[in-house]
Amino acid sequence: MADFCVYPGALHGQLPAPPSKSAAHRALICAALADGNSVVAPLASSEDMAATTGVLRSMGTEIDFTADGSAKITSGCRPQDKMVLLDCRESGSTLRFLLPVACALGLTATIAGRGRLPERPLGPLMRALKAHGISFSGEKMPFIVRGRLTPGRYELPGDVSSQFVSGLLFALPLLDEASEIVLTSPLQSAGYVDMTLAALGTSGITVEPTENGWKIPGGQHYRPGDRAVEADWSNAAFWLCAGAAGGEVRLTGLSSVSTQGDRAIVEILKRFGADISADAHAIQCKAAKLRGIRIDAGPIPDLIPVLAVTAAFAEGETEIYNAARLRIKESDRLTSVTALLRGLGGTVEEFPDRLVIHGGKLHGGIVDGMNDHRIVMSAAVAALGCEAPVIIRDAGAIAKSYPDFFDDFQKLGGGCDVVQLGEKL
């Protein structure tokens, strides 16, 4: 993968926020489970989107893409009369959302993945599926799944991955009788489950909240139709943090009433002291004197890498706590963030479930992208405030979620080049 050299500077200008990858996964799955024609738009190209569309096609869905970035779905998922390969690539969402759906359809399938995905937690979901009629050929990918899911009571921890819950919420309405999801520990990243529930509601699916979970009536049918994919607060956060650290960035298209948990970036940046404002058309963030704060990582794990960079530019100390789950992402993000900031001259203390970041100057240098899209993009934001250029190794990891990131970076006036280590900066 390519290495990028990113130069110190400030970003200025306006961008449309990219379409939400999280919302797109959900819209595509709901459309694929419906009986009838649907259009999902807008969609941004990424490896994770390719993983989900590829698996849906393997499950019988007919999907055609148009030049304007829309997906037309004319035939949905259906039982197959032969073993199928469901290649989830490196997408945790694809795996955890569609494994339960495959089980509900009674598919016999080989489940495959690559990169760090086979190492990421799946055990709690597999145990819940095993208790309801499903068998697995092994505990680690690739494995073969057989059987047809049965209705009943599904117990899941809420503090490992909210994607386990979302996967069952997609699958259980397809069963003949009612089922119940019961959380055995408090739910983390509840915003992502809220996104799933909103997508289900748009598709005509009924889910009833209970004291510690949800009841899902059986025998339901997904409703076809056009589905609009909202703009992405997760990827918008990189530009807002870049504005806070030393520029002025304006983003259009973001919904202030979105169910996306990562819209919390606005309030967090305000707590840092950022100059952030919004009108009916856009949200804007400008450079300001930042001060250290405390951040609960539980509801917003995907924001933590770029918030850690923001903390490095803030005066004083920032503590990021309740963060143990970051160790089971595309990389061990507590260690990756620590290595990133220390590699640029920052001061970070790493603990099992938290980081303490001491604000100060960042010098520049060479950092490893860790094959993690959010680490690469966070490193680019960090480079803006460094005293010297930053080389990001394996920066191509952005293809997982935001392949146009460096193009948009340059549109805002950022300086970056593809380089080979050994070239003069």
Catalytic positions, written as ranges: 302
> How far apart are alpha carbons 91 and 150 in whole angstroms?
26
The tokens describing 412, both together, are: 């805002």
CB burial string 273-287: b at 16+ within 10 A, e below: bbebeeeeebbbbbb
Beta pairing class for 390-393 and 416-419: unpaired
Q: How many CB atoms neighbour CB 137 within 10 A?
A: 11
The residues, ordered by sequence, that sit 6+ positions from 362 with a Cβ below 8 Å of its Cβ are 312, 313, 341, 344, 345, 346, 382, 385, 386, 387
Instruction: Tally Cβ neighbours within 10 Å of residue 127.
Output: 13
Question: At a CB cut-off of 8 Å and minimum separation 6, what does 402 contact?
Answer: 18, 44, 46, 235, 373, 377
Helices within 172-210 (DSSP H only): 190-202
DSSP 19: B
